[in-house]
Structure 1
Amino acid sequence: MLFEYQHIPEWPPLAWLAMWQKTSRTITVHHGPRVETHAGWFCEAVWAGEYASGGFDLTDIVSGSGGRIRDGSITYVSSASTVDRLVSTQINDRFFVSNSLPCLLAAADGSVDPAYPGYYEDLITIIHGLDRYRPFISSTIGTIRLTYFDNLLWNGKDLKVEAKPAICRNFDSFKHYRTFLSGSLTLLAENMGARERKYPYRMLSTLSSGYDSPTVTVLAKEAGCSEAICIDKARGGSDEAGEVIASFLGIHPLRVERNSWRETSLPEPPFILGEGMGTDIPFKSAENALRGRVFLTGYHGDAVWAKKGKYLSEKIVRGDPSGLSLTEYRLWPGFIHCPLPFFGVKNIQSINAISNSCEMRPWDVSGDYTRPICRRLVEEAGVPREFFGQQKAVAGVLFDELLTPSSMERYLDWIKEHRRAWFRQGRFPPPASAEFEAWLEQHKDSMKRKLLRTPVLWRLGQDYPDALVRPSWLRRYLFGWALHVTKEKYRIGLKEASIHE
């Protein structure tokens, strides 16, 4: 088997799509400008190992994606987290694998049902774990599989899900676990800056007043990171303390205004495609800083580093889908998302045992919001106790914050153009009016408050767990619109494709 590459300059820098027929031994890989290509492998990835050997298929410390030929088989590697994914499908005797859903649909000339209201609910099922999420999306070209954390193996006959290599680790002390994190980041830093790369990367972290991002930044600085994004305000308007923490750590803060993404043109679609909501869209404001970076975040730290852990399953159960909305967006500015808490995540029980051990008691604070591992790491790095980890702050947006006026106008036009899709199913489309939606939401909230005051009916007012939000009737169909908009950009690139290697 061999790869044949087609460079598509118009595509997002890190997007790629592998296409082949069952009887063929040549796999054509269409790719954006910053995808690294070699005779037996390609990637937009960094991993804890030597870059030149291309061993990203042999480790569970890998961020990004790619493909690797070994012994007549091909392994398509997904990021070792549940905030990124591969998408794949089979059409007759043809196979498609990509790191982008709109890319795959554009290449295969497919689409999804614009009137289906459940994309958000389906996509966020990944928070329930690798064995309980909904792995398929229906489309006009057939079923599309979503693969998180695991890899895909092509053996010449079938494309199957394959678990990442099982690496035996036993974190029996804080020192042991800290050494593992520091060592992994050091190897990652050497990999991302390897001279064999056409496009080397630099680290970039993020800082807020919580626990997770300061922990990540302390470890990242030891591996050479010198900058961190600091979003100015949390959801609700409270000031963040990221810049203050940066001063203690000797990190240069890159201040970002939480709502400045609203000043850009059509910013929402790539974020919405991740989980149907677009939670992490404030990072749009830091787009220039993110280009060519390995972006280190603390997503999933609430489960891995919490003392009173609720989610200690090897199947990676989460409390919310935060970080997932970067999975499509990151391909456009060209950065690799690396959520550090996923390093060694299969050993979450032994990590939690450290949090509850006697040696960590000096760093255990009263109340439910305590993460001894984080507190010890950050305090030992010189940040005073009172400057972080006092209360949980979230910068992500909710459904009612989404869509600038111009984006809302385009979204409403799309609903009008596709309203027959609802009528064919015997249902009414949502009213294409932002004002009417606001009126509905206002009265819905009023009714909900009345239900909550009525003991017999209070349960009717409960929608979702606190970590999740129910989309309004109008915003329930954002995913289909975002996919339509983004797919067209890939389609334009495909028309201009030309072989250069």
Structure 2
Amino acid sequence: MLFRYHEISTLPPLAWGARVDRGGDAALVFHGMFVETHSRGFIEGAWNDSFASLNFTAATIVAGTGGILEHDRVRFSTSTDRLGPLFSIVKDGSVYVSNSPAFVMTMSGEEPDDIYPFYDYDLLHIYRQGLYCPNGHLRLRSATRLGVHFSTIITVDERAAVRFDSHRLCELPRDYQTYKELLLEGTRKVLDNGADPARKRSYGPLASLSRGYDSTAATVLAKAAGCADAFTYIDDRCRDPKCDSGASNARFFLGMRCKVYSRWQYLALGSCPEAEFGYAAANSMVPLAAVEDQLPGRILILGDYGDTIWDPKAAKVSNQLSRPWVRHTHGLSPVEFRLRVAYLAFAPASIAARHNRIIHDIATSEAMRPWSVGGGYDRPIPRRIAEEAGLPRDRFGIDKVASSHSHLRDPSRFSEKGLNHYRRFVSQRHAEVPRPIYNYWRARARWRHYLWTNTNGHEDLRYVHSTPLQRHFPFILNAKPIPIPWDYMFTFQWTVASMRSRYALPQVSVHA
């Protein structure tokens, strides 16, 4: 088997879609201009080894997605930090795999179900299970299903048979120092890989910095690996707009350049930015649209996964990267934006995260007690990392604000153009749905929300192990999702429809 590449100038620069046909001798790969291609494999990402090695399926840290040939099979890799998922469709003897849901559906001729209201909740169900669910599924308009894959290696052989495996485990940390060394070395290697001049495009680091624990520690790790640039948000709708701004910490204590954006700046862009961020309405990262001027050619350093692995209560029970308590997905919302703008995303907190029990023991050890401040927001490991870098204790880790998010579930979170575009899409699509089917799904949504509000589900986060029963009844035995009103339950379909035109392939390529 071999790769047959087709670079399409109209595709987003980092997008790719592959097709493996049963009995075929080649895997067809359609890709944008900045996807790195080689006879052995392709990648839009960086990993903790040399770029020349192209051995990312054997790496323990991968920031991005790609595929490798191994004899008579292809191995497709997601990111290890859950920020770079893959999507697949098996249909008519072919397996389609892509780093974009819209691309894989366009390639295979599939569409989401216009009236199905639970995409956000179904994605959360898959996401919560971690490695217990390497092959989640979403319903589509036809009987075909959309595969959703986080932190997974997908193997497709010449018979179009599919298998799922985990990435390699890194070495086991023994104490705080060896764990910190793993974090520092892993971050440095990923950034060095991204900066390799042999690439079509090299990537320099840029940190997203708030005053929370996780982004602060991630920024400190990135700075130690050479990162000099950061950005932060202020919130004009808060009594104290700078309450979560990391600008002064970056400039005065870390010696970094830091640009400040308003959390609501995207509302004035005039370009309907919400349409690129609708895959996860309950945790949209659309404020990132205002940062587009800084992002091309960057590795974006994020604090994601710190809320799991650096919170001792969560780390104790997050086996196999599972998080049965989270109320929304992380990292899924900006998929289309990232592929178009052409940047990589990397969460240093995910390094060694599968050693969660060891990290919990380190965080709660006697040696870490000086960095434990008590209360509900207490994370000794990132506090120690930041304080050892010179940040005063009262400058971070006080309140959790989540200023980089904007839930797309009420009109105030949409720009005027975006809201009109979304409402027009929903009105047109639902007008084509037979009234009994429309009424059925609306009643289903109303009933589910009623049950969560009045009988089942929990508002609080219950830090418990993921069990088969938990995975079967995720929103009854643990925290219910952030509820989305009926009028805003169709942003997934809206984003797919809005993105389809950018993934149209020339007919000569489709049948190559």
What is the TM-score of this pair, normalised by structure 1?
A: 0.89
Counterpart of 1:476 (choices 485, 489, 494) is: 489
Partner of 2:268: 263
The alpha carbon displacement at 1:140 in A equals 4.1
Q: Aligned partner of 1:267: which letter?
A: P
Counterpart of 2:506 (choices 482, 492, 495) is: 495
Partner of 2:307: 302
CA distance in 1, matches of 2:460, 2:337: 26
The alpha carbon displacement at 1:465 in A equals 3.2
Change (3 A) 1:161 1:191: same
The alpha carbon displacement at 1:203 in A equals 0.8
Kept in 2: contact 1:316–1:346 (CA 8 A): yes
The alpha carbon displacement at 1:419 in A equals 2.2
Change (3 A) 1:200 1:429: farther
CA distance in 2, matches of 1:191, 1:369: 34
State whether structure 2 residue 151 is matched by structure 1 residue 149.
yes
State whether structure 2 residue 188 is matched by structure 1 residue 177.
no
Change (3 A) 1:168 1:267: closer
Counterpart of 2:400 (choices 389, 392, 401) is: 392
Q: Aligned partner of 2:501: which letter?
A: E
Q: Aligned partner of 1:272: which letter?
A: G
CA distance in 2, matches of 1:234, 1:294: 27
1:455-466 mapped onto 2 (5 Å cutoff): 460=454, 465=459
The alpha carbon displacement at 1:256 in A equals 1.3
CA distance in 1, matches of 2:124, 2:333: 10
State whether structure 2 residue 438 is matched by structure 1 residue 427.
yes
Paired-residue identity, %: 28
SS, match of residue 51 in structure 2 = coil
Gaps of 5+ in 1: 432-443, 452-456
The alpha carbon displacement at 1:257 in A equals 1.2
Partner of 2:194: 192
SS, match of residue 474 in structure 1 = helix
1:375-454 mapped onto 2 (5 Å cutoff): 375-395=383-403, 396-398=405-407, 399-400=409-410, 401-423=412-434, 425-428=436-439
Kept in 2: contact 1:235–1:397 (CA 8 A): no
Change (3 A) 1:139 1:133: same
What is the TM-score of this pair, normalised by structure 2?
A: 0.87
Q: Aligned partner of 1:328: which letter?
A: E
Gaps of 5+ in 2: 462-480
Q: Would you say how many aligned residue pairs link Structure 1 and Structure 2?
A: 475
Partner of 2:342: 334
1:21-100 mapped onto 2 (5 Å cutoff): 21-100=21-100
Task: Judge which range, 162-171 or 390-399, deviates more.
Answer: 162-171
Kept in 1: contact 2:308–2:318 (CA 8 A): no
Task: Judge which range, 350-359 or 480-489, deviates more.
Answer: 480-489
SS, match of residue 288 in structure 1 = coil
1:161-176 mapped onto 2 (5 Å cutoff): 161-167=163-169, 169-176=171-178
The alpha carbon displacement at 1:413 in A equals 1.8
Kept in 1: contact 2:58–2:168 (CA 8 A): no
Change (3 A) 1:470 1:498: same
Deviations 1:143-164 (A, max 9, x none): 1211110111122223423323
Partner of 1:241: 245
CA distance in 2, matches of 1:297, 1:341: 9
Deviations 1:79-134 (A, max 9, x none): 11223211111221222111111011112222111000101110112124332588
Change (3 A) 1:301 1:251: same
SS, match of residue 230 in structure 1 = strand
CA distance in 2, matches of 1:266, 1:276: 15
Counterpart of 1:203 (choices 199, 202, 205) is: 205
CA distance in 2, matches of 1:121, 1:311: 25
Partner of 1:130: 131
The alpha carbon displacement at 1:323 in A equals 2.6
CA distance in 2, matches of 1:199, 1:82: 23
CA distance in 1, matches of 2:282, 2:340: 18
